[in-house]
Chains A and B, each alone.
Chain A
Amino acid sequence: MYEFLTSIGVYNFLKGPMVWIAFIVFICGSVYRVISLIMLAKKDKVVYPYLSLKYAFRSFLHWLIPFGSRNMRLHPWMTFFAFIFHIGLLFTPVFLYPHIVLWHKAWGIRWGSLPENIADIMTLIVILCCIFFILRRIFASEVRFVTYASDYLIIAIAAAPFITGFLAFHQLVVPYRLMLMLHILLGEIMLMAIPFTRLSHMLSFWLTRAHTGSEFGVFRHSKDY
């Protein structure tokens, strides 16, 4: 089993066709999700007439700037962890040196990378935040009341590539090659899971916020933050 998992054939598959599959599923799935929601919103006759770019952006701004909304100020710790988590989650994989090397080898493109130790710290932060979210789900009664198995699953999907990446880099627990394989596989799974799980909130955030922001700005003449 170990031989098979670490064989060059499997490695080449995960690094080649599987990456294509993962990205195609991720991109096509995301486009499909967004477009189908936009189409469906036509049926909901009260969405489009009130949309406003100005108020949508006012809403984005207040909810993307740390402590930009009253609720973020009411929950300072959650805001802190949520922001550093999302920053780590989005930026670490894109600006990690080994990842950029892979892009360069494949397509000849490259961009600036994060210093190794910074990337390492950011990875640890993402993992720690996931632990914080899990503990919060277990110990905060109002969150526990609305927690389902799927909530732990999406945290696990998000954390897994970071945990395996960290362990592979430091060559811990299992041999490097096996850990690397797991890391690639779990990363691909995460990408493919985005459009089809509630990780899709990364896509629908823009739509629901644009609607609510416009609704509050155009019609309700009040703030949504």
Chain B
Amino acid sequence: MIKMQRKTVSDPGFDETVKNLTPEKITQTINYVLEKEAAARLKAYVETCIHCGLCNEACHFYVSYDRDPSYAPVAKVRQTIWDMMKKKGKVDAETLKMYARIGFTECNICRRCSMYCPFGIDIGYMMNLVRRICGLLKVAPLYLQDQGYSHMYTYTQSWVAQDDWVDTVQFVEEELRMDIKNARIPLDKEGAEIMYSPHSLEAKFKTNLLSNIAKIMSVARADWTMPSFDGWDSTNQAMHVGDNETMGMVERMHFNAGFRLKVKKIVTSECGHSFRAAVYDGSRSLGWKEPPITYIQPTQLFYEFVRDGRIKIANKLKEPVTVQDPCSIVRNRGLGGMLRSVVKAACEDFRDVKPRLEHNYCCTAGSGVINYGPPWKFIRMEGGRAKIEQLHATGAKIVIAPCHSCHKTIEELIAYYKLDMHVMFISELLVKTMEIPEDLQVLPPGKAEASP
């Protein structure tokens, strides 16, 4: 018999929380989710699966761990959902911990396997159910739980209070004026065309990204705004921790912010999960077929800017460039073509990945895995081997990744595997290559005085 062999990892989110559980509570929760919340899809998937194992090649964990059968998608279902159903939810705390480890740390819910299953079984959906069960029992990586609570208390992912946010915008605007003449970051502008909804990290310690966006908006002369009030943060870690109630609340706040400012569309940050949360999980849990307000990812916005000539590329990047197709925006929404179009416009030497578009490998950081903190970093580094080998094979020096999770984890993978590469957001690429119109240029101090 094949054994499932895993390193021991100590995470209080798993080890301490299971101590509070009684067997009755576990059984009750499992049966509640499987019988009351899950409906036709679970039944159809479990009864249709013929255990053929053809989904295995789809999983980046399976490929990265030298085709270890216990990492195959169907194997994960076997060890979680089938096991719960067979035991009718009567499992002990140790087994629940194993479910949680599989559901949270060994699946990115990238949904590549549903494209490889002959029956189109959505294994990601079943892993989401595992997360839901464990999340309801509060058995989840501690760092992720923390971010879930942050959404409840501050409506942002990383405990950024509303006044900190406004303060940040003010200093970003001030600094931006060193690059763009009379730059403005308009807050609460009613009736604007675009509401930009940033990632809370852009307000916390990656303010350069917010500044990049403001720069691009200024150059494209976009009619844009951001809310000063709660609901400005587009992230949604509650979705990853299985807290569907908070997830719905957070999404409702984003949509409401857009309605309150009477904007035409909301543009999320260059982030995969917040886009997925808004258009997919969040909208659906609130009862919308599609988001109630036009909700786009910056990849699309930048594509439109470049296509319409609102952004002109002045100096194309010379280094070889490749792309990362983030699952949440490419497999989940087909934005791969737009991504390539922008990258090709701004770079001289574009080298596509293989497999590409919706067949692309996940970066191993998706669905919250990026946020699990130091105890779980190894899972991204080991599980991401397929990803980094794929990127390395292109021979590119720069990877364009329009997603925070992809961006951070690929940068870490590059360091871990000691490669000579570097990751960029599209916004970084555009800021580097775009032409700044004369009237927006800030002249050096000496020249400024000389001009009339």
Contacts and interface: CB of A to CB of B under 8 A. Distances in A.
Interface of A: 37, 40-47, 49-50, 59, 63, 69-71, 74-75, 78, 140-148, 151, 154, 198, 200-201, 204-205, 207-209, 211-213, 215-216, 219-225
Given A75-B54, A78-B54, A205-B48, A224 B72 contact: no
A46 B40 contact: no
Give the bracket for the number of chain B residues in contact with chain A.
35 or more
Given A145-B2, A146-B72, A198 B53 contact: no
B3 to A, nearest CB: 10
B284 interface: yes
B114 to A, nearest CB: 6
A147 B75 CA distance: 10
Interface in B54-112: 54, 56-58, 62, 67, 69-70, 72, 74-75, 78
B219 to A, nearest CB: 29
Contact of A146 (B39, B43, B44, B74): B74
Contact of B49 (A145, A198, A207): A198
B51 A148 contact: yes
Interface stretch (B119-127, B152-160, B207-215): B119-127
Interface stretch (B308-316, B331-339, B364-372): B331-339
Contacts of B47: 198, 200, 204
A143 B119 contact: no
B140 interface: no
A71 B118 CA distance: 8
Contacts of B45: 208
B392 interface: no
Given A49-B289, A50-B289, A141-B2, A201 B48 contact: yes
B119 A204 contact: yes
Given A78-B54, A148-B51, A222-B334, A41 B75 contact: no
B52 interface: yes
Interface string B334-363: 111000000000000000000101110000
Contacts of B122: 212, 215
Q: Which of A144, A219, A222 has the most CB of B within 10 A?
A: A222
Nearest to A225: B115
A146 B284 contact: no
8 contacts: A41-B39, A59-B120, A143-B51, A198-B49, A201-B48, A204-B44, A209-B119, A211-B120
Nearest to A150: B51
A201 B54 CA distance: 15
B48 A208 contact: yes
Contacts of A71: 54, 57-58, 115-118
A146 B334 contact: no
A201 B331 CA distance: 26
B41 to A, nearest CB: 6
Given A46-B284, A50-B289, A211-B41, A205 B119 contact: yes
B50 interface: yes
Contacts of B41: 41, 44, 47, 211
A45 B37 CA distance: 11
Nearest to A223: B358
Given A204-B47, A212-B122, A146 B78 contact: yes
B53 A146 contact: yes
Contacts of B355: 70
